[in-house]
């Protein structure tokens, strides 16, 4: 049953749109932000159907922090494209805020990961950098690394694609498959990233290793160095998973996006091929087999949406059914029959 509320009374992040609004290109299921509220009111839409966003209670990051971090990352990349200069300290601050929030909340048994949603194709560079940092930081924390290294991974992941600023933006965003020669140019972004970091006074070898080696594969078939297994520095192995997960679940001008469940399944299936199995295990520990956002059919034929994963219990996540009913499968007789 739809709950209709006045747009100006909606608290951002706490509610989810429960209908499509084509004129604003808003899809059912999107979390309502302050910007979405503004756009609705400008368009003369004053009442909308919503459901409560129960996931927010289990977030490892406040949505406000995600939004603030996104705005800073966007400024950073704009400066990099226009002036070939970066505010290193500002970028470090963003990564540390992400890492510290995750460190503070990681001990909770139930977690929700609020990744930044892509609103248009031009945002991909910014949202991707931010999301990869969040996912890589979670993987590192789940692997038991000390907080000093967790913070370094957060920064390395935030910077992992910085070398793409030296490549023609039209090639980066080409709405088609690339030629062999064009792909060779793209591959050089890892090398350019290392060069930019050194130019800007970022010379920590752990941080550089994540930038330089996040496209290596566990089976040795990656680039540029074709390293394999433990030859690949651990930061590269961790960021590789975060990079692929966000890329698969993001819509681009030349491809659609996968749902979260399909992307997680792909990463599990490629353990020992593309990815370090220990890193994959840590990834599954925080995302679960059924990551947040996955729609499922239960054995009693109720339809539900996964809202949070449970550490060390990958098969029994928290679900939301209808407007506000939250179900913990660990205390239910029902189970997930299939993914919808």
Judgement on whether residues 96 and 171 belong to the same structural domain of the protein: yes
Please give the residue range of the domain that contains residue 37: 3-52
Judgement on whether residues 25 and 117 belong to the same structural domain of the protein: no
- Specify the higher pLDDT residue, 28 or 128: 128
Judgement on whether residues 311 and 283 belong to the same structural domain of the protein: no
Whether the per-residue pLDDT at 190 is higher than 60: the answer is yes
Whether the pTM exceeds 0.85: the reply is yes
Judgement on whether residues 163 and 310 belong to the same structural domain of the protein: no
Judgement on whether residues 329 and 276 belong to the same structural domain of the protein: no
* CATH code for the domain in which residue 33 is found: 3.90.105
Whether the per-residue pLDDT at 327 is higher than 90: the answer is no
- Residues 103-133: tens digit of each pLDDT: 999 988 888 888 887 665 568 888 999 999 9
Whether the per-residue pLDDT at 213 is higher than 80: the answer is yes
Judgement on whether residues 145 and 201 belong to the same structural domain of the protein: yes
For the ranges 118-122, 189-193, 333-337, the one whose mean pLDDT is highest: 189-193
Judgement on whether residues 70 and 48 belong to the same structural domain of the protein: no
Judgement on whether residues 137 and 169 belong to the same structural domain of the protein: yes
The average pLDDT across 174-182 equals: 85
The whole-chain average pLDDT of the chain stands at 90
B/e letters for 133-163, b = 16+ CB within 10 Å, e = fewer, are bbbbbbbbbbbebeeebbbbbbbbbbbbbbb
Judgement on whether residues 41 and 128 belong to the same structural domain of the protein: no
The average pLDDT across 60-66 equals: 89
The token pair that represents 294 in the structure block: 């996955």
Judgement on whether residues 110 and 222 belong to the same structural domain of the protein: yes
Provide the 3-class DSSP secondary structure of residue 47: strand
Beta pairing class for 303-310 and 110-111: antiparallel
- Residues 76-86: tens digit of each pLDDT: 888 887 777 77
The token pair that represents 300 in the structure block: 């009693």
Judgement on whether residues 71 and 20 belong to the same structural domain of the protein: no
- Specify the higher pLDDT residue, 177 or 287: 287
């Amino acid at each position: 049953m739809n709950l209709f509320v006045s747009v100006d009374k909606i608290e951002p992040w706490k509610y989810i749109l429960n209908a499509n609004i084509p004129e604003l290109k808003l899809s059912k299921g999107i979390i309502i932000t302050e910007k979405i509220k503004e756009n609705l009111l400008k368009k003369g839409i004053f009442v909308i159907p919503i459901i409560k966003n129960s996931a927010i209670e289990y977030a490892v990051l406040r949505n406000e922090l995600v939004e603030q971090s996104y705005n800073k990352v966007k400024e950073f990349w704009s400066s990099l494209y226009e002036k070939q200069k970066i505010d290193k300290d500002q970028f470090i601050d963003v990564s540390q805020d992400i890492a510290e929030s995750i460190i503070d909340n990681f001990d909770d048994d139930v977690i929700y990961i609020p990744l930044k949603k892509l609103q248009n194709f031009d945002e991909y560079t910014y949202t991707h950098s931010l999301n990869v940092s969040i996912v890589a930081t979670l993987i590192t924390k789940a692997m038991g690394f000390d907080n000093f290294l967790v913070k370094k991974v957060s920064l390395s992941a935030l910077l992992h694609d910085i070398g793409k600023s030296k490549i023609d933006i039209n090639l980066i965003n080409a709405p088609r498959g690339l030629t062999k020669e064009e792909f060779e140019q793209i591959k050089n972004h890892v090398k350019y990233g290392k060069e930019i970091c050194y130019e800007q006074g970022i010379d920590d070898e752990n941080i550089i290793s994540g930038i330089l080696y996040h496209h290596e594969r566990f089976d040795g078939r990656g680039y540029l160095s074709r390293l394999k297994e433990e030859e690949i520095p651990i930061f590269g192995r961790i960021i590789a998973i975060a990079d692929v997960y966000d890329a698969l679940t993001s819509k681009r001008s030349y491809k659609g996006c996968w749902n979260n469940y399909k992307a997680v399944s792909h990463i599990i299936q490629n353990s020992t091929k593309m990815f370090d199995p220990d890193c994959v295990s840590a990834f599954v520990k925080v995302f679960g087999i059924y990551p947040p956002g996955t729609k499922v059919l239960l054995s009693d034929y109720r339809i539900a949406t996964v809202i949070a994963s449970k550490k060390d219990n990958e098969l029994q996540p928290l679900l939301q059914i209808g407007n506000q009913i939250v179900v913990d499968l660990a205390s239910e007789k029902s189970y997930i029959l299939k993914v919808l």
